[in-house]
């Protein structure tokens, strides 16, 4: 069993930009690369789980997302950070078009992407976390049985009044990583 950090992408790893899909618009959150290196050095496998309703809405395609995710993974690899997997949900029940307008188990707050990662990568759920900037990220983590962590980047500052008592809050991914390093 492997301890794992599940990570939302937009607003957690990279700066939140509506419907981000172009490499030239991608920008890591402040100290996010350092944070991911710390987590990796602590022995956590890193799995990205991201809702991508821009695909459902027809703003960009799955190929665009794959290119962007590959870019992010390669940039992190240059800095000694290995991303184990990147899962995404391209669905949206109300705003989706065509085959993407479905109710699914993968769109957070549903835990489908996390459960897939748990099954595929032998995740030790008792020693794993879900880090995100939205209530839906936290709820997906709770439903999957991992510890929910809110970062105040992206939409995180607006989520604080709605928090479940199980949720720990940090200014950003770097603060979470450094505090976790102190525990280990």
**How far, in Å, CA of 68 to CA of 66, rounded?**
5
Active site residue 8: yes
> How confident is the model at residue 135, as a pLDDT?
94
| Model pLDDT for residues 67-101, shown as the tens digit of each residue | 999 999 999 999 999 999 999 999 999 999 999 99
Active-site residue, selected from the candidate residues 10, 124, 137, 164: 10
| Model pLDDT for residues 144-157, shown as the tens digit of each residue | 999 999 999 999 98
Please spell the DSSP secondary structure of 153-175, one letter per residue: TTTGGGTGGG--TT-EEESSHHH
Average pLDDT, the chain: 96
Give the domain CATH number at 179: 3.40.50.1000
Q: How many domains does the chain have?
A: 1
Both structure tokens of 174: 């770097």
Active-site residue, selected from the candidate residues 8, 25, 133, 164: 8
Query: From first to last of its 184 residues, what are the pLDDT tens digits of the chain?
Result: 999 999 999 999 999 999 999 999 999 999 999 999 999 999 999 999 999 999 999 999 999 999 999 999 999 999 999 999 999 999 999 999 999 999 999 999 999 999 999 999 999 999 999 999 999 999 999 999 999 999 999 999 888 777 788 899 999 999 999 999 998 7
Residues spanned by the domain of 19: 4-183
Active site residue 10: yes
């Amino acid at each position: 069993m492997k301890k794992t950090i599940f990570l939302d992408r937009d607003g957690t790893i990279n700066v939140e930009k509506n419907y981000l899909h172009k490499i030239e618009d991608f920008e890591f959150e402040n100290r996010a690369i350092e944070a991911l290196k710390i987590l990796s050095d602590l022995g956590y496998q890193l799995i990205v789980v991201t809702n991508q309703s821009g695909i459902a809405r027809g703003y960009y395609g799955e190929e665009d997302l794959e290119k962007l995710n590959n870019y992010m993974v390669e940039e992190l690899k240059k800095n000694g950070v290995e991303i184990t997997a990147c899962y995404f949900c391209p669905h949206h029940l109300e705003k989706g078009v065509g085959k993407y307008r479905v109710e699914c188990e993968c769109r957070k707050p549903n835990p489908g992407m996390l459960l897939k990662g748990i099954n595929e990568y032998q995740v030790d759920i008792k020693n794993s976390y879900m880090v995100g900037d939205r209530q839906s990220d936290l709820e997906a983590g709770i439903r999957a049985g991992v510890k929910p962590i809110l970062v105040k980047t992206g939409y995180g500052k607006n989520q604080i009044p709605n928090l479940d008592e199980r949720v720990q809050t940090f200014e950003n991914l770097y603060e979470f990583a450094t505090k976790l390093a102190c525990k280990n």
